[in-house]
Every structure is written in structure tokens, then in C-alpha cells.
Amino acid sequence: MTHHATRYTTLNEALALYDKDIYELGEQADKIRTDYYGKKTFFNSNAHLNPTNECSDVCRFCGFSAHRKNPHPYTMTKDDVLARVDEIVSRGALEIHIVGAHNPRCNLQWYCDVFANIKKHHPSLHIKAMTAAEVHFLATTAGITFQEVLEKMAESGVDSMPGGGAEIFDEKLRKNICKGKVDSQGWLAIHRHWHKMGKKSNATMLFGHIENRAHRIDHLLRLQQLQDETGGFNAFIPLVYQKENNFLQVSEFPTGQEILKTIAIARIVLPNIPHIKAYWATLGINMAMVAQEFGADDLDGTIQKESIQSAGGSDSASGITKNELISQIKNAGFVPVERDTLYNEIHVY
């Protein structure tokens, strides 16, 4: 997918976009969005499942990990996971998004058993699972390469990878907020290899904490480059930092204007990534609706149960109904399109 608008490839050029006023940026981003999709806004019927929150990692921004401020550690059994998946499917989910903490008790074999079992019982359920951070953790603990982990994941039924764990690529900042996690080169190498296996994934960026605008632009440009090389990213998801229950000291939070500008700039700098997701679990549903005017064309999904953003204070713990999503999108003047994970259209409302 390419767009013939100006290509922003250098830090200075792209950074200067922040100096534009918000209307101009919105218009520029909306032009790309509208050329691609008109008034369509995509969503899916999905569910999130987080098998464990017992984590050996040290991300200072995280309120989900039980080793930090969350006093309620849990690890599901394989049977718990299957029972939950049965329930999720009975409630209409077409995609299961599985990510967990870095827990040595849930090793590669544990995950592969879980994936294979899910596929056995629900062959058509799309499994979107394992961030590059988890792939790195599983490879390191098993003493094997990430390539081997990715092969095993694919063999046991993982269809695509979510975009988590990217945070901010700038090495210095990354050391400050999540030292010990997969490094930037590693994150990109894992997605590169997954794409070369013919698979799709997403990419995220966690912003609105202690990073600056140049860090965000650097992050976008690294993704733009990898996408030029592989074409394997489906969506980019700017995640707004949720401030509760964690150890990151943040003194100033981004305004709504700064968030919208960042979404618009993502659309403008990443014309080669098909979709920009306004993830309502970090934006709130109102801001997600406005984001549709600033380049975003996708709202993620119904989620059913959300544990990571809600641990950080967001109002997303119990998901949103499909009808609510549809009516919000319609009332905002857009056309709701239910999609599958790979963006095939299932129903236009």
C-alpha cells in the first residue's frame, strides 16, 4: 500500500509537522484516511486473554504486573484458558488476543500446548498472540533463537502477532522505562522475521509519559523503514499512557490536542502501514470518536475483558458491546465495518 502524498523520511521534516496547527494536520491526515477508506471505520469482535500477570520484567509504566503495585498475582491453568476461550467464542469473538506477563512457569511448551488446544477446539478462531517482548523472553529462557520460537508459534496455531512491547524505541529512554525488556533492534528483528515467514503483525507506541516529540518521530520512522522492507504491518496503534498504579514519575500529561496531533502525524508519517488504530481502551471512547477525523480508521474491537490498560486506570475492564461500537461510529458520521483480524470485511453497517 502506498500513498502519493509527501513522504516524510527525516527526523527534522517529520518533527516539523508538530508545528502545524491542529486543523491543518487533521486535514492532511484525513485526506490519506479518506483516500484509503472513505468514511469506513473498522472494528472487530475480539476478546483479550492474559493468562498470567506474574512477571519477571521491570517496566516502570506497567500496573498489570503482579510483581509491582498489583497485589493479586494469578496464573491460569491450560484448562482455565480453554474454558475461557469456549466462553469467549460463545459470545461471538472471531479473534482471541493473547498476551501475558513474563512468567517462567508459562514457557514456550506451555504456550504451544495452549495454542494447539485452542485450534483443535476452535479451528476458525484467529489467534493473535505473543508480543515481540514475550518471544524474546521465551527464547532467552529456553536458550533458543527467536526464529525457533516464531516457527513453533506458527506450527501450533498462532495466526498473527499483536504490536505490544514496542514502547519507545529510543535506546536511552527505553533503558529508563523498561530496562531488561527486548531491545529496539530485537523488537524490529522479531517482526521482520515473522513478516518474512509470510505473517502479519501490528506495531504500537506507548506515549504521553516521559518521552518527547522527537522520540515519537524516531519511533515512527523506524517502523516506516521496516514496513518499506517487509510490508508486514497491518496496523499502527498509538497507546496513550495510563498513569495509575505504576512507578514511572510523570509530571505532565499530554493534552487532547497533543494526542490528536500524534495520531494525525502517525497517519501522515506511516502512509505505508494500512491502518491507524484509535485504541479506545487508552483514548476513551469520546477521544476515539474524534480520532476518526484525524487519520484513524480502526477502533480495535469489543475486547470483552481488558486487564492491562485498566490496571493503569483506564475505563476498559469489561470491554464494549458491538452495538455500542456500531452506534457510536454511526453517530459520529462514519460507516461501521466489522472486519476480521486481516481486515477482510465481514459486514458493513
Q: Which of 14, 28, 53, 63 binds ligand V47 (CB under 6 A)?
A: 63
The reply to whether 204 sits near ligand V47 by the rule CB under 6 A is yes
Cα–Cα distance for residue pair 326/320, rounded to 1 Å? 10
Order of strands, sheet of 40-44, starting from the edge strand that comes earlier in the sequence: 298-301, 40-44, 335-339, 345-348
Beta bridge pairs of residue 26: none
Q: Which of 114, 150, 237, 291 binds ligand V47 (CB under 6 A)?
A: 237
The reply to whether 282 sits near ligand V47 by the rule CB under 6 A is yes
Cα–Cα distance for residue pair 195/219, rounded to 1 Å? 19
Order of strands, sheet of 46-49, starting from the edge strand that comes earlier in the sequence: 46-49, 95-98, 126-129, 160-161, 200-207, 233-240, 275-276
The reply to whether 178 sits near ligand V47 by the rule CB under 6 A is no
- Minimum distance from residue 54 beta carbon to ligand V47 (Å): 16
Cα–Cα distance for residue pair 188/225, rounded to 1 Å? 10
Q: What is the three-class DSSP state of 60?
A: coil
The reply to whether 164 sits near ligand V47 by the rule CB under 6 A is yes
Q: Which of 241, 280, 294, 334 binds ligand V47 (CB under 6 A)?
A: 241
Question: Per the structure block, which three cell numbers stand in for 271?
Answer: 502512509
Contacts with ligand V47, 7-26, as mask; x by CB under 6 A: --------------------
The reply to whether 309 sits near ligand V47 by the rule CB under 6 A is yes
Q: Which of 239, 269, 289, 320 binds ligand V47 (CB under 6 A)?
A: 239
- Minimum distance from residue 326 beta carbon to ligand V47 (Å): 19
Q: Which residues bind ligand V47 (CB under 6 A)?
A: 61-63, 162-165, 167, 202, 204, 206, 237, 239, 241-242, 246, 279, 282, 300, 308-309, 312
